[in-house]
Amino acid sequence: MRRQLSITSDCISRNTISINVANNVLPHGFWEWLLLPFIVGTMTISFIEGLSTIMSLYGFVFSFLFLIFYLFPYKQLKIPPEILIYFSWIIWSLTGMLNVTNTHLYLMQLRTIIQMAVMIFLVAKIVALSRNLSVVMLAITIGGIIVCLSGYYTGEIQMNTYIASHAQVAGLTRNPNSFAYQLLFVIFAIFFFWESKSSLRQRIFFSSIITIAIIGIIYSASRKGFLGVLAFMLLWFYFCQGKRFSKKPIRVFIILLILSGLAYFITDYVTSKTYLGIRFNNLWSYSNRLRIELYQEGFDIIRKYPMFGVGLNQFRTFSSSGVYSHSDYIEVATNTGIIGFVFYFSIYVVLWLRLNRIKRMTNDPYFLYIIGFFKAAIITILLVAFGRPNITSKLTWLFLASAIGYSWSIEHAFLSKLCKIRKLARMGSTGE
């Protein structure tokens, strides 16, 4: 579709331009049709023993075809800076070999992040070329629903209805926290569609999926997942709905009141009648004490190996517990050093700054909503990262890659149109 966008600049007070932005929910082109099953498979098939190789092979063929048949013939090799930073981080991580104690673990994670680098490049470039986020969000929704249904198929959801069972739903992921994390991204995806699809039927349908996802997170008994949902809801309201107070204060106040009531009801139900509530009430459980110890060990490792770190996937070999750090910040800093930490998290900073630049270029409600949506999701990811490592989380980087590709493409389209407007303005002022 074609959207009218208002641009501001120092030289031009207000000019309305248009750029082509696709909002097709279903795949529109050949590469989008290949991308959809790739994302769904990454969220589902890759967790099934014996079938994960299929996704690796599919990803390899997909990447090879994209590079050979699209990029090289047309020389469209411009790359978003975040991807260049990610590759730089991988190169820097090689310095960790100086302190590696388990070469097998190191090489295993090195192979994973190289595969992820290709995946990030692939997703970002396809989204940038199509300027269409809907296919990625649809794939995340489908993959998450399949994962949620797998919890019912395994009988874990039925078992969870008995609080005394202390059951946690994990489904295909075989990990309750991963299960909840996938459903959190389903909620992200639905909120992406929320603004553009405004009919009552569609809103009811979207609300149903959000409800199912929240119930799945509650049954997983994942504290991070549940807190992530609450954080995202608040951040979404702040970034996407906050400014509407001045225009429609009564309507927004009613929405806020309803959301607050739902949040109170859900929280009260969770804390009193679910195993998740028991886990929240038992703050000084073994798992929480372990996480605190992991942070302490992480800070000790950083003090001893501040520059290069101890090497990818090596935290567990230095930890007395023999497990990973359960924190993206500690995992990155200990494994790749402080410089690696700066490389890695500067990706978020660069993306955030671009979103701000786009916001200054337009007053289009749709794009302002997308910017606010991404900001809410990014902060939520960074908050949840205090309790989980995203260094090898394919779902996290699939989502971020789509945000990188989309924002990069939109900014370039704006700048290109703005340059043309300025050129025409100069020609008009000189009488050419």
pLDDT digits (tens, 9 = 90+) for 125-155: 999 988 889 999 999 999 999 999 998 887 7
Instruction: Please tell me the predicted confidence (pLDDT) of residue 285.
Output: 66
Q: What is the DSSP letter of 310?
A: S
Domain boundaries of the chain, sorted by first residue: 2-430
pLDDT digits (tens, 9 = 90+) for 316-370: 999 888 888 989 999 999 999 999 999 999 999 999 999 999 998 888 888 999 9
Position with higher pLDDT, 281 vs 396: 396
* pLDDT tens digits, one per residue of 17-59: 455 555 666 667 788 889 999 999 999 988 887 778 888 889 8
**% of the chain beyond a pLDDT of 70:** 84
pTM: 0.89
Residue 241: pLDDT over 90 = no
Nearest residue to 365 via CA among 190, 196, 248: 196
CA distances 193 to 74, 202, 233, 260, 428, Å, are: 32, 9, 15, 22, 42
Q: Read off the pLDDT of residues 60-117 as tens digits, 9 standing for 90 and up.
A: 899 888 888 776 665 556 889 999 999 999 999 999 888 999 999 999 999 999 999 9
Q: How far apart are CA 165 and CA 54, in angstroms?
A: 36
Contact 97, 374 (CB under 8 A): no
Distance between the two ends of the chain, CA-based, in angstroms? 34
Output 197 or 42, whichever has higher pLDDT. Answer: 42
Q: Span 11-15, mean pLDDT?
A: 38
Return the closest-CA partner of residue 244 out of 195, 193, 189: 195
Closest CA to 348 of 310, 396, 306: 396
